[in-house]
Chains A and B, each alone.
Chain A
Amino acid sequence: MNDEVSSNVMVLAEHTGMQVSEGTYELIGKARELASALGGVTEVVLLGRRAVAARLDGADIVVSVEHPALEEYLPEAYEQALLEVLAQRSPRLLLMSNATIGLDLGAALSVRWDAPLAGYVSALEIDGGAVMATAKILGGKVLAEVELPGERGIVTVLGGAFSAAAGQLASTPEVVDVTPPAGLDALRMSLRQVFEADGGDVDISSADMLVSVGRGIESQDNMEIVLELAGALGVPLSASRPVVDAGWLPKTRQVGQSGLKVKPKVYLAFGISGAPEHLEGMRNAELIIACNTDPGAPIFGVAHCGTTVDLFDLVPELVDKIRG
């Protein structure tokens, strides 16, 4: 146990098998910047796959815990292992993704490690020694600038907020092994099965252009008009999560954090508000054109062109003009 808080910034690596997530590099890049402002170094926690350490060359130190329960992500196992690492290393800050793993662990570690947590974070800096974060709340309609008081903190970061390139450097991190805590042998949950993504009829992530539809479409019957537009343009129809959850389009058409990342030449968004989880999947499209009747919709923060014309007026006009 180490009671002295270090000035180090720690990142939890996310990986499926040997593949490190893009978000991990985004966090490492940011951690390097923060660590240098604090006078510390960047530590990356790597659970269950020591061999991945070679791919974490943006880290100064890789802290590895090996145990069969950590081979794939398992919430309770990760939580126990991280608590052990936090107790031993006492970082100034822990950064995680604001996706499934961060949503699982961030708040639990905040209670159990007794550190404030800021979630949905899109900007992060050290200001006179204090950790300042900007969080997107209310679906991205409000930005909250918060300070994490005290001598340690946890931040879960939205995907795409920081540069991944800054976390990919040619260096050789030192690997420190931490003995797995005994709790890993007495877990209250187990992993039964891993399901890989289903292959879809079309791959929206390779399309040049997408017509994308959100909850503004209101009903399954109304889907007809956007299907017609996609048909006229000869491009796939994609959607935000609620449209997929409602069963109006298959999961393979979902854009966003829990769907697919897309980068078409043109992304046409109809009735999509632009929640952070959606933006994560499409903000890098070359040209984003958004139609939303709410002028305050966050989608206009990433769109290149926007209109507040009603989609039910605009879509039929588009179909007519494209069909000529």
Chain B
Amino acid sequence: MRIVVPVKSVPDLVEEIELTADETGIDREYLTFVLSEWDAQALEEALLLKDAGGAQVVAVGLADDPEIDQILYTALAKGADAAVKIADASVAGLSGPRVIRTADRAALLAGYLADQPADLVVTGVQAADDLDGQLPATLAALLDLPHVSVAVSVVAAGGSVTVRQEFAAGRSHELQVQLPAVIGVQSARQAPRYAPITRIRQAQQAGGLTEVAVSPRAAGAGLVVRRMHRPEAGGHAEMLTGSAGNVADQIVGLLRARGLVKG
């Protein structure tokens, strides 16, 4: 079974996000980029499928994504069999504030998958910077494949996969899905494995990244971003300041006033 795992870097949300001067995108220059956490879950689920019954796992990213080499080498160090970069600089719209064009990303990946078909595509259910849709369903629609999102378990079963799809309040459905298919992973059956730095270095030295050019599938109509802005700092929270001890006193005072702490 050939499993393709599309991966993407997103701004590290621990940092302050700066907007571009025209306020229609994110200023990427000073941001740190990390692997989208749901893609990390998808890669783990793919590696679990490989561990369970043998599969070839291929991690695929876009060549112009920040930190993509490091992300792909890490995927190799974790056990991916191959890592591919799709050259994307030529695609119009991808060089600007491209964080919002999930549709363009899907068009490129669909082009790659049309050339190099997969039995199973597993990718993150969403990415923090998606705005015009999520990759799994977009890809599946472009390739006319069945798809399931918000998966919390994917197990191979002959020519199909058994997928657990999650809903609110802990309800879930178990689905049988014919291959080829696209699955959007919410969380893997276990926490993503750790790649020791020595293994990542070995992967870098081995230099196993392949770069390919593809013809993108046509992407649908996009949105027009009129303006981006940050929510008002602090919102409506009254900020409690002072030492930890002072703040603790204020919080305990609030709880006492409501009769939730005795004394």
Chain B: how many interface residues by the 8 Å CB criterion?
93
Taking CB atoms and an 8 Å cut-off, the chain B residues in 152-178 that contact chain A are 162, 164-178
- Give residues 257-291 of A contacting B (CB, 8 Å): 257-261, 265-266, 268, 273, 287, 289-290
In the complex, the answer to whether B221 meets A145 with C-beta atoms within 8 Å is: no
With contacts A193-B174, A314-B244 taken as known, whether A298 is within 8 angstroms of B220 at the C-beta atoms is no
Chain A: minimal CB distance from B114 (Å) = 15
Contact (Cβ within 8 A) A115 B137: no
Contacts of B191 in A (CB 8 A): 245-247
Interface of B is mostly: mixed
Residues of B within 8 A of A185 (CB): none
Task: State A266–B263 Cα separation when bound (angstroms).
Answer: 18
**Chain B residues whose C-beta falls within 8 Å of the C-beta of A150 in the assembled complex:** 221
- Asked if B9 CB lies within 8 Å of chain A CBs, one says no
Residues of A within 8 A of B241 (CB): 307
What is the predominant secondary structure among interface residues of chain A facing chain B?
mixed
**A118 and B131 in contact, given A74-B175, A305-B237, A306-B239 (Cβ under 8 angstroms):** yes
Contact B258 A111 (CB under 8 A): no
CB–CB A197/B171 < 8 A: yes
**Interface 1/0s, chain B 184-209, versus A by CB < 8 A?**
10110001000000000000000000
**Contacts A117-B133, A135-B131, A303-B237; A143 near B229 (Cβ below 8 A):** yes
- The chain A residue sitting closest to B239, CB to CB, is A306
Contact flag A306-B260 (CB < 8 Å), given A111-B220, A196-B171: no
B175 & A191 in contact (Cβ 8 Å cutoff)? yes
Smallest beta-carbon distance B145→chain A, Å:
8
Q: Is the CB of A119 within 8 A of B178?
A: no
Q: Are B244 and A309 in contact (CB under 8 A)?
A: yes
Among residues of B, the one whose C-beta sits closest to the C-beta of A245 is B187
For A147, the chain B residues whose CB sits under 8 A away are 223-224, 226
- Contacting residues, chain A, for B37 (C-beta < 8 A): 242
Q: Which residues of A contact B245 (CB under 8 A)?
A: 317
Report, as a range, how many residues of chain A touch the other chain: 35 or more
Bound CA–CA A112/B142 (angstroms) = 8
Nearest 10 Cβ contacts at the A-B interface = A301-B235, A107-B133, A197-B170, A111-B141, A317-B248, A313-B244, A107-B137, A306-B237, A108-B137, A188-B146
B contact residues vs A (CB 8 Å cutoff): 10-11, 13-14, 16-17, 19, 26, 37, 99-100, 102-103, 106, 125-126, 128-138, 140-142, 146-150, 162, 164-178, 181, 184, 186-187, 191, 220-241, 243-245, 247-252, 254-255, 258, 260-261, 263
Q: A117-B132, A137-B128, A307-B240 are in contact. List 12 more A-B contacts (CB 8 A).
A: A73-B173, A104-B149, A119-B133, A119-B134, A142-B229, A147-B223, A191-B173, A247-B191, A294-B14, A296-B230, A298-B231, A309-B247
- Enumerate chain A interface residues (CB-CB to B < 8 A): 16, 21, 72-76, 99-100, 103-112, 114-120, 132, 135, 137-150, 187-198, 208-209, 233, 241-242, 245-247, 251-252, 254, 257-261, 265-266, 268, 273, 287, 289-290, 294-296, 298, 300-310, 313-314, 317-318, 320-322, 324
Give 20 pairs: A residue, B residue, CB < 8 Å, sorted on A: A100-B149, A104-B148, A107-B106, A107-B137, A137-B100, A141-B13, A143-B228, A143-B230, A146-B223, A195-B172, A273-B13, A295-B233, A295-B234, A300-B237, A302-B237, A304-B236, A307-B239, A307-B241, A310-B244, A314-B248
